[in-house]
Structure 1
Amino acid sequence: MNRNIRRTSAFLFLPLALALGACEDDDPVMMDDEMNIVQTAQDAGAFGTLLTALDVAGLTSALEGMGPFTVFAPTDDAFAAVDPEVLNDLLGDSELLTAVLTYHVVPGEFAAADVAGLSAAPTLNGRDVTLSFDGTTVMVDGATVISADVQASNGIIHVIDQVLLPEPIADIIQTAKGAGIFGTLLAAVDAAGLTETLKGDGPFTVFAPTDDAFAAIDPDALNALLADPVALAGVLTYHVVPGELAGADVLATTALTTVNGADAAISLDGEGNPRIDDALIIQTDVGARNGIVHVIDRVIFPE
């Protein structure tokens, strides 16, 4: 499914969250003077970033409502593990932020014993989280439940050690930085004035040469290329295809028209390995917020 459709679906799911949380008056419903989910998180003192995010997304009032809700709540440490630039961008994108936050909320109240018996649960995002239990630990997607069954008046909280992501939240540039193997590519993209383009809406399909791929070029030739922004842009845009093409889509064709305007050949070599021109595609389908990255072992040059 197209990422934009997924994000729109998650955003349109918000009215359901609000409906489930609606009260007949403006005050949160309390039972026996217990605290609701938001108040419980505030009282715990370990969910400042989550509470800020809920407020930015306009979801605080929903989680103060009747519910019941089951919330998988990432701690401040969980949010701190997200790249600061990526987190800042997420907090500035209310649509994507809503999609992420509603992915942490399951309608209904499920204690740890209930969760342990499930393999998946539908979230207010509209997508299912995967659940597993090994006899000791409950896992939600890749996150560990580190504290379970925190009771609130309108539901239950399970504390988790990672932020759950229904879709990528880092753009192509941020994804490349996080990988740690594209330093030369990132420097080249910046030198050519293309960084902001690849941080834009896209979507883009990027065939990304590793640092080792750039190291295979003669140093004098590489330095000359990096010093010529026009020629450099011509080479780099030959590595970018408009649209989002997964590995299967790439292999379904024999050539791709790049942003450069020239076509790059797609083939399988004698051993069945996928190639773009003479470069081996060594990893496919690295997702990003604004496209997809396929890793290649050589820099490719337009004719």
Structure 2
Amino acid sequence: MKNLYKYTGIALAFLGTVLTTSCETDSAYEDEPASIAAIAVANPAFTTLEAAAVLGDVAVTLSNSNAGDPSGDFTVFAPTDDAFARLGLEETTLGVLQQPFLKNTLLYHVSNGNLLSSSINDGGTASSLLGPTRRFINRDGTLYINGSEILATDISASNGTVHVIDKVMIASGANVVETALALQSASVFKNPRLTYLVEAVVYAELAEALSNPAASFTVFAPTDQAFINLGTALGLTFTQPSDIRQLDKDLVTAVLLNHVFADVSAGKFTSELNAGTYDALGSDDITLGAFTDGVLSVSGSGNAAPANMVIPDVQTTNGIVHVIDQVLLPNL
């Protein structure tokens, strides 16, 4: 795992925190490390995580022994400040998220018991306190949990173990369509993100197909701004989601189907996708760019420039959603 310890500075900073915190206690406890919450509080790489734990009402939980596990321990995959920044979030902007969603997101980063790096292997899985299971991927010697690179491992706390990751993990606990609805209805972000996409899916009568619990999809989900930009490019003005209905229904259906993989590339996190051309459910091919810094660009044959992933690796009950900043176009 060639990059597993590339961020050893973080691990060393944690160690310093543990030792410093220990020295401040009574001598009888001077060898005991700090709690998971205390380690995060004292480490400057985790100011956003600290604020999120307080706002999400999990700070007290991670300060104490785990009553839900015989070991009394937790395992936490801890996103750095840079990980939150990738989503446009920092300590002072967490208020754009709904508190229940923030709490669930944090619980998705936590497991019962001690899961040490020696037990983390390619293809393995680990359950979360939220419920959904995360999976581990070894990509060219670098270990990932879902689409997040594991930067440092086995940081010991008095109530468990911390591993450091480079992206915030998200799980909706719902299917693809319900996830889009949550993003549409301000259940996640206070400023909804996918209102036009939901309207388009309903208009094209694809909601039932994309809700299939037996299916596994990889879905590229354009933001509201992506649809507004599409309208402008077509000489139309989109000011509200229903304006999508200015377009021919068959065209909207064809375009939407070009945003979905349902074959061997279905249900894939970014860490499991490779550059190349793929068959989508529609008639067009989708081209993925190189896997760089944890994301891939994506484009249809009608896109002048590729789309970027805005929110990658959202785990749903029937696939993975990657939110992107452009609509993927066929040759029109």
TM-score (norm 1): 0.53
Q: Given the alignment of the two structures, is residue 147 of structure 1 paired with residue 133 of structure 2, yes or no?
A: no
Q: Given the alignment of the two structures, is residue 98 of structure 1 paired with residue 103 of structure 2, yes or no?
A: yes
TM-aligned CA distance change 1:297 to 1:203, over 3 Å:
closer
- 4+ residue runs over 6 A deviation: 200-203, 286-289, 291-294
Report the secondary structure of 2:60's partner residue.
Answer: helix
**CA deviations over 1:92-125 (Å, ceiling 9, x no partner):** 4111001110010011101101122662110001
CA RMSD of aligned residues (A): 4.5
- CA–CA separation in structure 1 for the residues paired with 2:255 and 2:82: 39
- CA–CA separation in structure 1 for the residues paired with 2:61 and 2:115: 18
In the TM superposition, residue 129 of structure 1 has moved relative to its aligned partner by 0.9
In the TM superposition, residue 212 of structure 1 has moved relative to its aligned partner by 6.1
- CA–CA separation in structure 1 for the residues paired with 2:195 and 2:142: 39
- CA–CA separation in structure 2 for the residues paired with 1:40 and 1:233: 47
In the TM superposition, residue 33 of structure 1 has moved relative to its aligned partner by 3.1
In the TM superposition, residue 201 of structure 1 has moved relative to its aligned partner by 8.6
- CA–CA separation in structure 2 for the residues paired with 1:101 and 1:214: 38
Report the secondary structure of 2:37's partner residue.
Answer: helix
- CA–CA separation in structure 2 for the residues paired with 1:102 and 1:111: 18
TM-aligned CA distance change 1:88 to 1:204, over 3 Å:
farther
Superposition map of 1:20-31 within 5 A: none
Counterpart AA for 1:237: S
TM-score (norm 2): 0.49
- CA–CA separation in structure 2 for the residues paired with 1:31 and 1:108: 23
Does the 8 A contact of 1:74 with 1:162 survive in 2?
Answer: yes
What runs of 5+ residues in structure 2 fail to find an aligned partner? 1-28, 67-72, 173-178, 202-225, 261-308, 315-320
Give the corresponding residue for 1:215.
233
- CA–CA separation in structure 2 for the residues paired with 1:115 and 1:130: 10
Counterpart AA for 2:130: N
Aligned match for 1:166, one of 141, 154, 171? 171
Q: What is the number of equivalent residue pairs in this alignment?
A: 204
- CA–CA separation in structure 1 for the residues paired with 2:134 and 2:76: 12
- CA–CA separation in structure 2 for the residues paired with 1:83 and 1:280: 28
Report the secondary structure of 2:259's partner residue.
Answer: strand
- CA–CA separation in structure 2 for the residues paired with 1:95 and 1:125: 12
Report the secondary structure of 1:205's partner residue.
Answer: helix
- CA–CA separation in structure 2 for the residues paired with 1:46 and 1:89: 16
* Larger CA Rg, structure 1 vs 2: 1
Hey, which of these two has a bigger chunk of helix by percent? 1
Aligned match for 2:252, one of 268, 276, 283? 276
Give the corresponding residue for 2:119.
114
- CA–CA separation in structure 1 for the residues paired with 2:121 and 2:32: 29
- CA–CA separation in structure 2 for the residues paired with 1:206 and 1:119: 37
- CA–CA separation in structure 1 for the residues paired with 2:328 and 2:85: 31
Identity among equivalent positions (%) equals 24
Superposition map of 1:39-188 within 5 A: 39-67=38-66, 68-84=73-89, 88=93, 92-116=97-121, 119-134=124-139, 136-167=141-172, 171=183
Does the 8 A contact of 1:283 with 1:296 survive in 2?
Answer: yes
TM-aligned CA distance change 1:84 to 1:45, over 3 Å:
closer
Does the 8 A contact of 2:74 with 2:112 survive in 1?
Answer: yes
Does the 8 A contact of 1:73 with 1:104 survive in 2?
Answer: yes
What runs of 5+ residues in structure 1 fail to find an aligned partner? 1-29, 175-195, 227-231, 240-257, 267-274, 299-303
